[in-house]
Amino acid sequence: MKHRAVSTGNQWEKRYGYARAVRAGSTVCCTGTVAINPDGSPHAPNDAYAQAARCFEIIEKAFKELGATKENIIRTRMFVTDIARADDFGRAHKDFFQTHSPCLTMVEVARLIDDSYLIEIEADAVVGD
């Protein structure tokens, strides 16, 4: 099966050799996404809501390039460094999806690739029937 991939060109993608998102048939998957600014700096250090919202912006852009929308997303996984901030992360999830409710997993992890990041989000989508 053919697949298409998109990259944001950030330092981690280049260093570790992965794509931001890949589409194979009707399935679109987005790799773990942190709140990174276009210049490579962490977005909104210490702001859980803003970091989650930034992750969703990056995911939405990658999915759009592969012909998917946020309404096609069926599952998200949120890896967070402080589960006590779950309400902020969850509110960003709810605000992004609004009336569409995909499956969600949120788990606390010891740390992410850089200590400035509070959250990393993965998303999977299905396009078409």
Counting the structural domains of the chain, the total is 1
- Reported as a single tens digit per residue, the pLDDT across 42-91 is 999 999 999 999 999 999 999 999 999 999 999 999 999 999 999 999 99
Of the pLDDT bands very low, low, confident and very high (cuts 50, 70, 90), residue 95 is very high
Q: Give the residue among 102, 124, 103, 118 at the shortest CA–CA distance from 36.
A: 118
* Separation of alpha carbons 25 and 106, rounded Å: 27
Boundaries of domain holding 21: 3-126
Whole-model pTM over 0.85: yes
CATH of the domain at 86: 3.30.1330.40
Q: Which residues pair with 122 in a beta bridge?
A: 77
- Reported as a single tens digit per residue, the pLDDT across 3-14 is 899 998 888 888
The contacts of residue 70 (CB under 8 Å, 6+ apart) are 56, 60, 63, 96, 97, 100
